[in-house]
Structure 1
Amino acid sequence: MLLQTREFITQVEHALAPVRHVMKPILSDPLVMGAWALVVVASVGVLWWDIREHNGALPSMMKGVWTLVVLYSGPFGLAVYWYSGRTQISRDSLWRRGFRSTAHCYSGCGAGEVVGFVVLAGVLAIGSTLVVTLGTFALAYTFGYALTVGPLMQEGVGFGEAMLDALYSETPSITVMEVAAIGTDLLIASQAHITDLLFWGALVFSLSVGFVFAFPVNVTLVHFGVKEGMENPAEMGESRSQSRAQATD
């Protein structure tokens, strides 16, 4: 079984070799990565400005979620926020709920992946790909589940029930996201060191790949009622407006 798994991984790696050859020089280019860093900083600035000026009704957790999403994916993350996360959206939809659900999962899992690769492959310089992979997976699951269990427990749900809910609703999304993200990182930069620009470039790129693969999974889970897809932000804006009107009266 182990031999068959290794053979399968080798075949996949061989099939995706052209992707590695294309992406390695791009993600190793100081000009490209410097420009990307500036774009990310600008995107985060736009996000924070919009939240402060127009979307203060968003819960603190979602403000943090969107900040991480934009930090991970720059203008792509900002576009997802603009389409699905603002109180000014014209109407909610399955696609918007799917984007919000993916963003929620992405923020926690992404943090786990970053910590995993930086600590295990970077700081500790563990040479075993298997150990780095399993450790990063474990951290991604931990961070992802925590982002669901924590808010549920704050609402009064017991730990056991909250954990069961997280396992049921988040496991498919986290699994697909991390298989895609960690696989992409290892494909492109398995030999890179923490001091190499490729180490960071591949990590950033892999996060967005994970989001893309997890999105259809979350849409499916929301469609069948396994996940709620996060609250409609437009309703938050209406509630805030009503509260202000009552306070004025």
Structure 2
Amino acid sequence: MSLDQLQAFIDSWVGLGVWLALVAASVAWVAYDLRTKNSHMASMMQWVWILTVLYSGPIGVLIYRYSGRRQIPADNLKRKGFRSVAHCYSGCGIGEILGVIIAVGIFAVGNAWTAAITFILAYVFGFALNLGPMMQSGTPFMQALKGAFLAETISIAVMEFVAITVDINLGGQSTMSDALFWASLYISLSLGLFAAWPANLLLIKFGLKGGMADPRDMEAAASGHCH
């Protein structure tokens, strides 16, 4: 497939339909896996993974299988980085989708205002989806807030800079009635995730982030035993 054919496929309802079918199948598989094989995870962490897969389809499944299940053979920095990214990604995706719908669909503002509204909402939701699981695991609110502020601001800023830039460049001239509007949103979200992953690796390596809990340890905690 040539580049022109790929662009035409992306800018078509058929292409978008194929992607949405893959997303639906991916979400169904992850939801089933969480319910049957990884139900020990805290509810908010389960939602983190479902939202991650909702935004990135099969890509999200691969990340979940690599880093988010108790079945992983061992933990390492790369896996911690993906789990860390998934937390802010799950919230940023909500904010980004709401942002473009509000900015374009309701207020019909230009790209600059769309970028600003999207970033603000992505930051708010991304930060919230980091604090929530931390508090659910027992971290007091103020401690979670102080611990997450600097690191999550950096992570979200990197993610959203890439995601918003890609979205505007790909679909900035499209409207909500165009397949490209939605396709560019999906593409930009996944690229934002991968852009923020190395930033999270560095944040974890230098002790600014904890990397989120090992899913095997979550299982041990849920069963009352040490891993």
Fold match by TM threshold 0.5: yes
Distance 2:32 2:132 in 1: 27
Structure 1 residue 238: deviation in Å? 2.7
Tell me if structure 1 keeps the 8 A contact 2:44–2:132: no
Among candidates 40, 52, 58, match of residue 69 of structure 1: 52
**Whole-Å Cα distance in 1 between the matches of residues 186 and 85 of structure 2?**
17
1:45-60 aligned within 5 A: 45-60=28-43
Q: Does 1:194 align with 2:167?
A: no
Task: Determine the C-alpha separation between the residues in 1 that align with 2:58 and 2:141.
Answer: 38
Greater radius of gyration (CA): 1
User: How far does residue 110 in structure 1 lie from its aligned partner after superposition?
Assistant: 1.2
Output the CA distance in 2 between the equivalents of 1:183 and 1:221.
23
User: 1:228 maps to which residue?
Assistant: 210
**Please, which moves more after superposition, 206-215 or 233-242?**
233-242
State which drifts further: 117-126 or 162-171. Answer: 162-171
Q: 1:207 is matched with which residue: 161, 185, 189? A: 189
Please state how far the C-alpha of 1:25 moved relative to its aligned partner. 2.3
Q: Secondary structure at the match of 1:210?
A: helix
Alpha-carbon displacement from aligned partner over 1:128-181 (angstroms, at most 9, x marks no partner): 22111111111111111122334455646344x543333212011101100100
Is residue 168 from structure 1 mapped to residue 150 from structure 2 by the alignment?
yes
**How far 1:23 sits from its partner (Å)?**
6.2
Q: How does 1:114-153 map to 2 (within 5 A)?
A: 114-126=97-109, 128-152=110-134
Structure 1 stretches lacking a partner, 5+ long: 1-18, 244-249
Distance 1:68 1:85 in 2: 13
Whether the 8 Å contact between 2:45 and 2:133 is mirrored in structure 1 is no
Sequence identity (%): 43
Note closer, same or farther for the CA distance 1:189–1:24 as it changes in structure 2 (3 Å cut): farther
* 1:42 match: 25
Helix, strand or coil: the match of 2:169?
Answer: helix
Is the contact made by 1:83 and 1:89 (CA closer than 8 Å) also made in structure 2?
yes
Q: 1:24·1:188 contact (CA, 8 Å) conserved in 2?
A: no
Provide, for residues 187-218 of structure 1, a one-character-per-residue CA deviation record: whole Å limited to 9, x for no partner. Answer: 01111111111111110110001011011001
Q: Distance in 2 between matches of 1:62 and 1:156?
A: 15
| Counterpart Cα distance in 1 of 2:117 and 2:37 | 40
2:164 is aligned to 182
2: CA distance, partners of 1:157 / 1:62: 17
Distance 1:118 1:175 in 2: 20
RMSD: 1.9
Question: Cα offset for 1:26?
Answer: 2.9
1:61 Cα deviation (Å)? 0.8
Normalised by the length of structure 2, the TM-score is: 0.91
Q: How many residues align?
A: 222
